[in-house]
């Protein structure tokens, strides 16, 4: 399969730039630059106008840019020349009047330096122009996401079949990361959350010293990063001992909420309505105040990307979007249950890309003897 078409991505962004009412856009968001050029390094900005496309970088990346972005114009700045000055020179040369910048990816310091140097152009704040394009994944991107899912799923299989009561959360994290790498991942898609019992009640806990045997409930939120930079994001809860009736109720409630929400995913569905479906199941079971986060999010080159499924989201699902659906119930000091899968919005409905079994019986794990 041929790789991404960066030229077509940039022409779509140029149309968005025009609609935003600026002549040119200066991109400083690392993943946005990667999405539009294929460049995988950092500290590099992209200037984009109708007449010019220029990567502004430094000598460390000269060879890499030549390899990764053949044919693109590059401005390699001298070590004594700050980024703001180099960018200002490119802007002046292109005779830009209104220059858009990425408000989400430019620091206040960078902005004021740029403002001082680019006297000829007016700086206009923009948000989400490239991120909006990244919401819809093309065929090549879907292959990359499927690969990251494969690596994550093979990785958790290794953890599951080698689970021992004397393992700590950190041991499991290590096993998981190593296993994903052995199946081709360049690393985890983000720092995996491995939480035994009460640790799992903290939605973003770090893996610590707690032993698996300390509680019958183990929560793992993990994903892989494929060599292309695309990621996956899943959560499963494993039952490693005798559980209480409450634990069972919480598990079944979260699963029901997740299934109902996934069933509602299709083009035209409002993100906030999908969120509301899951939230209703959880509040009907009496756990409303224990589900504090949004239902899910887009992902790709970044683990959290545009398309937010939350009560305040104004977005509508479109074919090609890939989102997580991850309701959870967290009982402070006791345990947490979250079940997370990756869903592709198709032309007619959706496809669940992840395939780790999630029924209660599937969650029950035997320790390695
Ligand atoms: Zn996750
Ligand atoms: Zn997630």
Give, for all 369 residues of the chain, the pLDDT tens digit.
678 999 999 999 999 999 999 999 999 999 999 999 999 999 999 999 999 999 999 999 999 999 999 999 999 999 899 999 999 999 999 999 999 999 999 999 999 999 999 988 999 999 999 999 999 999 999 999 999 999 999 999 999 999 999 999 999 999 999 999 999 999 999 999 999 999 999 988 899 999 999 999 999 999 999 999 999 999 999 999 999 999 999 999 999 999 999 999 999 999 999 999 999 999 999 999 999 999 999 999 999 999 999 999 999 999 999 999 999 999 999 999 999 999 999 999 999 999 999 999 999 999 987
Closest to 342 in 3D by CA, of 149, 153, 143: 149
Residues 174, 124 share a domain: no
What's the 5 CA to ligand 2 centre distance in angstroms?
A: 27
Residues 281, 320 share a domain: yes
> Beta strand pairing status for 341-345 and 350-352?
antiparallel
What's the 47 CA to ligand 1 centre distance in angstroms?
A: 33
Q: What is the pLDDT of residue 368?
A: 86
> Beta strand pairing status for 187-188 and 224-225?
antiparallel
Residues 232, 102 share a domain: no
The dihedral through the CA atoms of 194, 309, 38, 320 has a sign that is positive
Of 102, 117, 134, the domain-final residue: 134
Domain region containing 109: 6-134
Residues 150, 123 share a domain: no
SS3 357: coil
For position 185, which CATH number holds? 3.90.230.10
In a domain, residue 109? The reply is yes
Q: How many CB atoms lie within 10 A of CB 61?
A: 19
- DSSP codes joined into one string, 264-291: T-STT-BHHHHHHHHHHHHHHTT-GGG-
Residues 207, 345 share a domain: yes
Q: What is the pLDDT of residue 352?
A: 98
Closest to 239 in 3D by CA, of 358, 353, 101, 120: 358
- DSSP codes joined into one string, 140-172: HHHHHHHHHHHHHHHHHHHHHHT--TT-BHHHH
pTM of the model: 0.96
Residues 153, 77 share a domain: no
Q: What is the pLDDT of residue 119?
A: 85
What's the 303 CA to ligand 2 centre distance in angstroms?
A: 7
Q: What is the pLDDT of residue 145?
A: 98
What's the 76 CA to ligand 1 centre distance in angstroms?
A: 38
| pLDDT, tens digit, 9 for 90 and up, residues 213-266 | 999 999 999 999 999 999 999 999 999 999 999 999 999 999 999 999 999 999
Which strands sit side by side in the sheet containing 217-222, from one edge to the other?
A: 193-196, 217-222, 234-239
Of 134, 154, 176, the domain-final residue: 134
Q: Are 351 and 344 in contact (CB under 8 A)?
A: yes
In a domain, residue 369? The reply is no
Closest ligand, as measured to the CA of 223: 1
Q: Which two tokens stand for residue 339?
A: 């079940």
Q: How far apart are CA 265 and CA 165, in angstroms?
A: 39
Closest to 179 in 3D by CA, of 164, 194, 159, 150: 159
Q: Are 69 and 55 in contact (CB under 8 A)?
A: yes
In a domain, residue 1? The reply is no
Q: How far apart are CA 244 and CA 216, in angstroms?
A: 9
What's the 192 CA to ligand 1 centre distance in angstroms?
A: 8
Closest ligand, as measured to the CA of 297: 2
What's the 6 CA to ligand 2 centre distance in angstroms?
A: 27
What's the 298 CA to ligand 2 centre distance in angstroms?
A: 8
End-to-end CA distance of the chain: 44
| Number of domains, the chain | 2
What's the 284 CA to ligand 1 centre distance in angstroms?
A: 24
| pLDDT, tens digit, 9 for 90 and up, residues 334-354 | 999 999 999 999 999 999 999
Closest to 27 in 3D by CA, of 166, 129, 118, 120: 129
For the chain, how many residues are written?
Answer: 369
Report angle CA 231, 223, 258 to the nearest 5 degrees: 100
For position 42, which CATH number holds? 3.40.350.10
What's the 205 CA to ligand 1 centre distance in angstroms?
A: 12
In a domain, residue 368? The reply is no
In a domain, residue 176? The reply is yes
Residues 346, 225 share a domain: yes
What's the 233 CA to ligand 1 centre distance in angstroms?
A: 5
Q: What is the pLDDT of residue 2?
A: 79
Q: What is the pLDDT of residue 1?
A: 64
What's the 221 CA to ligand 1 centre distance in angstroms?
A: 5
Closest ligand, as measured to the CA of 236: 1
What's the 296 CA to ligand 2 centre distance in angstroms?
A: 6
DSSP character for 180? H
Q: Are 156 and 55 in contact (CB under 8 A)?
A: no
Neighbours of ion ligand 2 (CB under 5 A): 233, 324
In a domain, residue 48? The reply is yes
Residues 303, 249 share a domain: yes
Residues 218, 69 share a domain: no
Q: What is the pLDDT of residue 353?
A: 98
Q: How far apart are CA 14 and CA 12, in angstroms?
A: 5
Residues 310, 224 share a domain: yes
What's the 75 CA to ligand 2 centre distance in angstroms?
A: 37
Q: Which two tokens stand for residue 104?
A: 């989400």
Residues 185, 95 share a domain: no
Residues 154, 289 share a domain: yes
Q: How far apart are CA 180 and CA 158, in angstroms?
A: 9
Q: How many CB atoms lie within 10 A of CB 16?
A: 16
In a domain, residue 286? The reply is yes
In a domain, residue 323? The reply is yes
If 0-12 CB within 10 Å is exposed, 13-18 middle and 19+ buried, where does residue 202 land? middle
Of 134, 163, 196, the domain-final residue: 134
CA dihedral 107, 112, 118, 124 (to 10 degrees): 60
Closest ligand, as measured to the CA of 235: 1
């Amino acid at each position: 399969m041929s790789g991404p078409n960066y030229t077509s991505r940039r022409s779509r962004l140029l149309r968005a730039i025009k609609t935003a009412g600026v002549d040119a856009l200066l991109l400083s968001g690392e993943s946005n630059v990667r999405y539009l050029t294929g460049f995988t390094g950092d500290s590099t900005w992209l200037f984009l106008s109708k007449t010019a496309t220029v990567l502004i970088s430094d000598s460390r990346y000269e060879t890499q840019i030549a390899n990764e972005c053949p044919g693109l114009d590059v401005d390699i700045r001298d070590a004594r020349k700050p980024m703001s000055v180099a960018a200002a020179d490119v802007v002046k040369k292109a005779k830009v009047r209104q220059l858009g910048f990425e408000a989400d990816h430019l620091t206040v310091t960078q902005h004021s330096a740029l403002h001082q140097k680019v006297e000829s152009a007016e700086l206009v704040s923009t948000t989400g122009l490239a991120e909006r394009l990244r919401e819809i994944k093309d065929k090549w991107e879907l292959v990359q996401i499927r690969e990251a899912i494969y690596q994550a799923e093979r990785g958790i299989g290794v953890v599951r079949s080698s689970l021992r009561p004397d393992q700590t959360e950190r041991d499991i994290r290590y096993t998981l990361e190593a296993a994903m790498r052995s199946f081709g991942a360049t690393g985890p898609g983000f720092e995996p959350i491995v939480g035994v019992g009460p640790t799992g009640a903290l939605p973003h806990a770090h893996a610590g010293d707690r032993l698996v045997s300390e509680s019958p409930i183990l929560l793992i939120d993990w994903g892989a990063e494929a060599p292309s930079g695309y990621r996956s994001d899943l959560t499963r809860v494993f039952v490693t001992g005798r559980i209480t009736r409450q634990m069972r109720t919480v598990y079944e409630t979260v699963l029901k909420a997740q299934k109902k929400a996934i069933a509602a995913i299709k083009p035209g569905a409002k993100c906030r309505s999908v969120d509301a479906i899951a939230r209703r199941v959880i509040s009907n079971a009496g756990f409303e105040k224990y589900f504090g986060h949004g239902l899910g999010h887009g992902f790709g080159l970044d683990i959290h990307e545009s398309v937010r499924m939350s009560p305040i989201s104004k977005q509508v699902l479109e074919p090609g979007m890939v989102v997580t659906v991850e309701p959870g119930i967290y009982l402070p000091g006791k345990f947490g249950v979250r079940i997370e899968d990756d869903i592709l919005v198709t032309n007619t409905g959706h496809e669940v890309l992840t395939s780790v079994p999630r029924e209660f019986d599937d969650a029950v794990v035997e320790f390695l003897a």
